[in-house]
Structure 1
């Protein structure tokens, strides 16, 4: 009888342990039929930090699967409006919030419903900068300041010998992204047009003959402009001087890839802060079209995750300025602002403008397309 009671007690312990283990399994393992898939379409500038954070988020949230897609910021808008994706986006993260306002305006023109579940959320910040290989930057910008008129004169001259450079440097090659597909190309041409007219941008700016000539010059000079900033900088580094001399890119990606430039070309490029420049804030929105409430809640969880201090520090490590202002650029481990990158500044003494509105972006695209 005593042995029987011991056996029964042992069985109860085993059953209890089994229940506990089963409960833990239900808590931490994906439940078939309940897993949510969240498809994120982002500008390519966020590709590397999002891929790193994807793994961490899925480990912490096993019932949510993330799928990352990357497009140029203007492509994100156009493909969503025209329903040209072969997948159903859940979250859109173009390089700046103005793109989401454009999307909202265009969507509401043919639909009665709101396009987004919630107010769009800022994810990370950066600004437009210039870069140049150091030896050539010293010739083009002897005072260390980026100037649009100097770049324009170099493009008109066509080669370095015409502007004081060595004859064996060959042609002068400026690079920017395609303004019909990429946010950084649109910002570049907006700032350049603004410097040309010496005032604020409006629709009349793009009917100015000097601005029209500028667009034609740049379009003729930039052969097959890349569709995204990340692709542009990879090509800039791979080609090196003589094929790519000066470019406009985001500060974030310029900081992140400077070490790669040193390894590939044996020397880093110099960063030049534009004055004025444009601050661009990668902004996320959860779309309503074909996205149910459960998937939207999973998407909210991911956006909350991205805005936490630990994840914001990851963006800083990739050269972004945080959307969460409690994060200090200098104290983040492996911060690029602690690596003596040529030209990099924590607080550059420049004027930061907001991105142009939808109408100006439309004028930039229109003028680029018709430029010859």
Structure 2
């Protein structure tokens, strides 16, 4: 009888332990589970719309969206600078997540993610220019890094065929130490220098970076901030900029309200495709939360939600979705220069080592 009593006590104790674990990892009835998603600013508006849809279908989940530049996102997470615990990170491309993966493993000797990162939406790097000025700078209708470099060297529009009252030539890009589009810009620009020179050296790249840094005044921390300022300030403060095609398409209609003329889109050749990619992180996130986070990722990659991304200028990650057939698609709005299938070479983003070198060189020059 004593032996049986001890067994009963052990079973009861185990039951209490298991029950307490269940309370720890299972959602409490009637209490919403918060999932914090940190995304690049380029996804802000489509994710806000999809947040509402998801919560309508999942009443016990409260999504909380936060937005940071892609490089800031990695640095803040690794260095634990956030005052919150994100469950999902969605930087502009998978290479940014690879950088996070490498840095996390080097510091913690553990896996940073629950599952393999998953593609969310695609876009490519483009240039935009106010039409009248783009016609002067790119006379044949084709984008040219050397034309921008020459304009930077001459500094004034009057010296490159523009009107004297246009003043100085102003190029705009994001800060490559904080934003992915700035990194892509410098990668493509440096590549164009290498392709046009048999004797390209580090010194030549340093000279290029120095010229750009002198020409770009207070580079914005994110691409969407850059474009909103570009539209609001007009040609007096920005003539040409490099941005994501998605944002350029989505915000194009705003120029009708803010400026007397729209900007035109140009496709560098080659250009770089960047695929916004989501990862569910392990730090301070339990397995049950990770499963709910995965449910959201699965939701936004379904066809109906992918159409929302198209409406905001992104290219889908699922096949057989016609860009022009989606309602309110920017590809059916006669935006100057826009091409659904541009005949340019599409390259992959720079890897983590190349990004590190871009940032090192940018910080080095004055």
TM-score, normalised to structure 2's length? 0.91
Give the match's secondary structure for 2:278. strand
* 2:15 alignment partner in structure 1: none
* 1:285 alignment partner in structure 2: 279
Report the Cα distance in structure 2 between the residues aligned to 1:215 and 1:313, rounded to whole angstroms: 39
RMSD across aligned C-alpha pairs, in angstroms? 1.5
Give the match's secondary structure for 1:263. helix
Q: How many residue pairs are counted as aligned between the two chains?
A: 339
* 1:168 alignment partner in structure 2: 165
Equivalent residue for 2:103, pick from 100, 103, 106? 106
Give the match's secondary structure for 1:241. helix
* 2:356 alignment partner in structure 1: 362
| 1:122-146 CA-partner distances (Å, limit 9, x unpaired) | 0000000000000000000000000
* 1:350 alignment partner in structure 2: 344
The answer as to whether partners of 1:206 and 1:212 remain within 8 angstroms in 2 is no
* 2:294 alignment partner in structure 1: 300
Measure how far apart 1:112 and its partner are: 2.2
Gaps of 5+ in 2: 1-26
The answer as to whether partners of 1:123 and 1:284 remain within 8 angstroms in 2 is yes
* 2:178 alignment partner in structure 1: 181
Q: Which moved more, 1:258-267 or 1:83-92?
A: 258-267
* 1:145 alignment partner in structure 2: 142
Equivalent residue for 1:256, pick from 246, 250, 257? 250
* 1:43 alignment partner in structure 2: 40
2:63 pairs with 1:66:
yes
The answer as to whether partners of 2:123 and 2:314 remain within 8 angstroms in 1 is yes
* 2:14 alignment partner in structure 1: none
The answer as to whether partners of 1:44 and 1:228 remain within 8 angstroms in 2 is yes
Report the Cα distance in structure 2 between the residues aligned to 1:112 and 1:166, rounded to whole angstroms: 59
The answer as to whether partners of 1:309 and 1:326 remain within 8 angstroms in 2 is no
Measure how far apart 1:239 and its partner are: 0.8
Gaps of 5+ in 1: 1-29
* 1:340 alignment partner in structure 2: 334
Q: Which runs of 4+ in 1 moved over 3 A?
A: 30-34
* 1:13 alignment partner in structure 2: none
Equivalent residue for 2:154, pick from 152, 157, 169? 157
Measure how far apart 1:266 and its partner are: 2.1
2:267 pairs with 1:273:
yes
